[in-house]
Structure 1
Amino acid sequence: MWQPDGWGWQARIGLLTPHADICPESEFRAMAPEGVSIHATRVLLGVYSPGGIMDPTIAAGPVRAFADPPEVDDAAELLAAAPLDAIVYGFTSSSYVRGAADDAVLMRRLETRTRGVPVVVPCAAAAEALTVLGVKALALINPPWFSAELSGQGASYFEGLGFEVAYHGPAGLPSNQQAIEPAEVYEWVRRHTPVNADAVFIGGNGFRAVATIHALERDLSRPVLTANQVAFWHALRVSKKRITVTGYGRIFDSQR
């Protein structure tokens, strides 16, 4: 009788996202099955011009500052006023710059403001997903707006957690979030994943990539992870809800 209304009767996931980024909300909603709702709030990131335009290579200063108090802390507290099951900090690159130890500090700091709502940090979620999947070596594909230095910091992040990084680098695609097409991402990842990588991690919450997961896992015969996918997976995991997600990667099989 009634039409779907988007109500989160299974789970409600919050999302802290850079103010002009359109990708995390889109990809979370694409992956969310019926009964899982997404509730986002925006946090100022000082690399954008109006219309979501940013420099071809993002600067390290604003990336590092995004995780600093008070803006993201205040946003987390406001978002947690809603009846949510988990909140995702939707920004990969500050983890690359600041490191895994700081991710743990950030998570604890934000959780002091969220009144018991668990906080998910994508790179920490990626490390847990890689462990769940038994991955030893990974290929790390980053957005085209990441510098070679930032990509190297991403490699150091995962190496510091005991993983081998068989390949890393920014994708050679247009450095414009709105110009990214799944077919181009698929081809770049397929051609740049070495045979000695057990899995692929596509970094960057603003990098449009979840549409490629199924095809890449089929054609590479190994797990494919993305920043938004692992964050969504981990948000469902910490919410302690048994929710089936299909078509977006092997990692969701561990949810069942």
Structure 2
Amino acid sequence: MWQPDGWDVRSRIGVLTPHADVGPESELQAMAPPGIRVHAARVPFGAMAAGGAMDPTIPLAPVRAFVEPPHIDEAVALLAVAPVKAIGIGFTSSSYVTGAEGEEALVDRLQERSSGKPVVLTCASAVAGLGKLGARRIALFDPPWFDSELDRLGAEYFRSQDIEVVFHAPCGLPSTQRAINPGELYDWVVTHTPDTAEAVFIGGNGFRSVGIIAALEEQLARPVLTANQSLLWGLLQATNTKTKPTNYGTLFNS
């Protein structure tokens, strides 16, 4: 007699996103296994205007500012009051800019505000996932709104974690979130993935990409990781959730 109302869930997870970006929560909820609900909080991001509009390339200063106090700390504290089991940071580029040491410091700082709930970062989850898969050589594909310097910092981040980056570049696609077409991204990744890559990582939590994971893995015959897929995997690990998504990559089998 009663219709589903969203209250009967097994577990709730939180995600922090740039204030005008709906990408992370959209992809996380699309992938989430039955009984998992995603709840988002917004953090100001100086490079993003109303409706998610951005310049063709984003400058590094607002990327760095996104993870500086006080806004993200306050967002974590507020979201942690809700009955969520863990909180993810849906922002790949901050880890690129701060590096792995800065990423660890950020987690330590935010967990002081999270009421003891785990704080999970995208790139750290990707590194852990690659380790589980035994992949040490990757092709790195970044959003078209990442400039060459931010893309270079991404490659350096993974290299600092003993992962060889055999290819890296911003994808040559329209530099607007809403203009990203899954078919065009699929073709670009297939065309540019070198045979020497043991896995693919598609960076950018606002970069529409999870819908093509299964098709890419079938075509390339190797694991494909994306920012939001890696973040969800890390959140499920942190909350010891046994149910896993299906059709979103071999990462969830690890």
Same fold (TM over 0.5): yes
CA distance in 2, matches of 1:153, 1:182: 25
Residue 68 in structure 1 maps to residue 68 in structure 2: yes
Q: Tell me how far 1:8 sits from its aligned partner.
A: 5.8
Which residue number in structure 2 is paired with residue 251 of structure 1? Answer: 251
- Report the secondary structure of 2:5's partner residue: coil
CA distance in 2, matches of 1:208, 1:14: 19
- Report the secondary structure of 1:194's partner residue: coil
CA distance in 2, matches of 1:113, 1:244: 28
Q: RMSD across aligned C-alpha pairs, in angstroms?
A: 0.9
> Which letter does structure 2 place at the counterpart of 1:232?
L
Q: Tell me how far 1:110 sits from its aligned partner.
A: 0.5
Q: Do the aligned residues in 2 keep the contact of 1:155 with 1:165 (CA within 8 Å)?
A: yes
Which residue number in structure 1 is paired with residue 40 of structure 2? Answer: 40
Which residue number in structure 1 is paired with residue 83 of structure 2? Answer: 83
Deviation digits for residues 198-234 of structure 1 (CA, Å, limit 9, x no counterpart)? 0000000000000000000000000000000000011
- Report the secondary structure of 1:54's partner residue: coil
CA distance in 1, matches of 2:244, 2:6: 17
CA distance in 2, matches of 1:140, 1:17: 22
CA distance in 1, matches of 2:8, 2:42: 20
TM-score (norm: length of structure 2):
0.98
CA distance in 1, matches of 2:214, 2:4: 26
Q: Indicate how the Cα distance of structure 1 residues 126 and 224 shifts in structure 2: closer, same or farther if over 3 A, else same.
A: same
Which residue number in structure 2 is paired with residue 107 of structure 1? Answer: 107
- Report the secondary structure of 1:80's partner residue: helix
Q: Tell me how far 1:32 sits from its aligned partner.
A: 1.0
Unaligned runs of 5+ in 2: none
> Which letter does structure 1 place at the counterpart of 2:246?
T
Which residue number in structure 2 is paired with residue 206 of structure 1? Answer: 206
Unaligned runs of 5+ in 1: none
Deviation digits for residues 229-255 of structure 1 (CA, Å, limit 9, x no counterpart)? 00001101100121121010001012x
- Report the secondary structure of 2:45's partner residue: coil
Which residue number in structure 1 is paired with residue 163 of structure 2? Answer: 163
Count of residues in correspondence between the two structures: 254
CA distance in 2, matches of 1:124, 1:138: 15
Which residue number in structure 2 is paired with residue 223 of structure 1? Answer: 223
Runs of 4+ in structure 1 displaced over 4 angstroms? none
Which residue number in structure 2 is paired with residue 52 of structure 1? Answer: 52
Which residue number in structure 1 is paired with residue 135 of structure 2? Answer: 135
CA distance in 1, matches of 2:159, 2:75: 31
**1:174-193 matches, cutoff 5 A:** 174-193=174-193
> Which letter does structure 1 place at the counterpart of 2:245?
V
TM-score (norm: length of structure 1):
0.97
- Report the secondary structure of 1:125's partner residue: helix
CA distance in 2, matches of 1:76, 1:187: 37
CA distance in 1, matches of 2:8, 2:197: 37
CA distance in 2, matches of 1:167, 1:4: 46
Deviation digits for residues 171-213 of structure 1 (CA, Å, limit 9, x no counterpart)? 0000000110111111111111100000000000000000000
Q: Tell me how far 1:66 sits from its aligned partner.
A: 0.5
Q: Which has the larger displacement, 60-69 or 4-13?
A: 4-13
CA distance in 1, matches of 2:6, 2:99: 36
Which residue number in structure 2 is paired with residue 235 of structure 1? Answer: 235
Q: Alignment identity in percent?
A: 55
> Which letter does structure 2 place at the counterpart of 1:199?
A
Deviation digits for residues 9-34 of structure 1 (CA, Å, limit 9, x no counterpart)? 22111010000111111101100122
- Report the secondary structure of 2:167's partner residue: strand
